[in-house]
Amino acid sequence: MKFGNDLPQAAANLDLSRLPRHVAIIMDGNGRWAKQRGFLRVRGHLEGVESVRVIVRLARRLGVKYLTLYAFSDENWQRPTTEIRALMNILVRFIRRELPELMENQVLLRAIGDLQRLPENAQRELARAEETSRQGARMTLSLALSYGGRNEIVQAAQSLARDIAAGKIRPEDLNPESFSARLYTADMPDPDLLIRTSGEYRLSNFLLWQTAYTELYFTDTLWPDFREEEFIKALQEYQHRDRRFGRTQEQVEARVSNTTRH
């Protein structure tokens, strides 16, 4: 099924030429959503999957190039075994169910994180999905699984240290660009916008290096209730921000003016 180009009425005020290229989302609140309704936590995760489906479709229709979703953190391995097993089963079912539609709509599905810790069937499905959805992709959907920002940075540092010890590179050759090239996200731009749901105001070890200049958006909405209108609100807020990257407002305006003229 093609996602189509029709957009919700709420998107009428969006400037489609100024959308973030890369949106990252900390999908928080599934458990609280379920508890508020007297359900088991797994029901919240299932409802959260529907929000994933809705947001991926809308992001693709809008023309967002990269969407990264924080699905399972390093710390989540501390959760009860029954919940972890349920989450991994949901992941496998999601991949199998959604992959044909993602491919039809030119969406590459990939995963970032310490994937070796995932069950073997989840690893196989993720590898198959990335391989089969790569050709002709116009949007990249990345699932952060068994992911931790500090561990990612440590692994990048270890990789560089090994190459220095082997004489492949010199310490003075290290810079932010060469370091970024060793991260899970090496082939993606840094996020322009990071959204966190459920009223929490922290990064929770997510994309710590990559979010140095990312615009942050926090909402009290729990992830299972985060649908098209909520996503559009976040994009509208992003378009009201001034992204100066250390420059003055006058420098930014001059740069935009020069870009427009050329």
Evaluate whether 256 touches 244 at the Cβ level (below 8 Å). no
The span from the CA of 100 to the CA of 191, in Å, is 27
- Is residue 76 part of the annotated active site? The answer reads yes
Counting every residue written for the chain, the total comes to 262
Sign of the C-alpha dihedral computed for residues 155, 160, 164 and 167 taken in this order: positive
The span from the CA of 193 to the CA of 160, in Å, is 28
Angstrom distances, CA of residue 1 to CA of 7, 91, 105, 227: 16, 21, 8, 19
Residue 248 tokens, joined: 């003055």
The span from the CA of 34 to the CA of 231, in Å, is 21
Quickly count: other Cβ atoms within 10 Å of residue 101's Cβ.
15
- Is residue 28 part of the annotated active site? The answer reads yes
Q: Choose the catalytic residue: 28, 30, 105, 192.
A: 28
Q: Choose the catalytic residue: 5, 15, 76, 220.
A: 76
The span from the CA of 98 to the CA of 155, in Å, is 31
Q: Which residues are catalytically annotated?
A: 28, 76
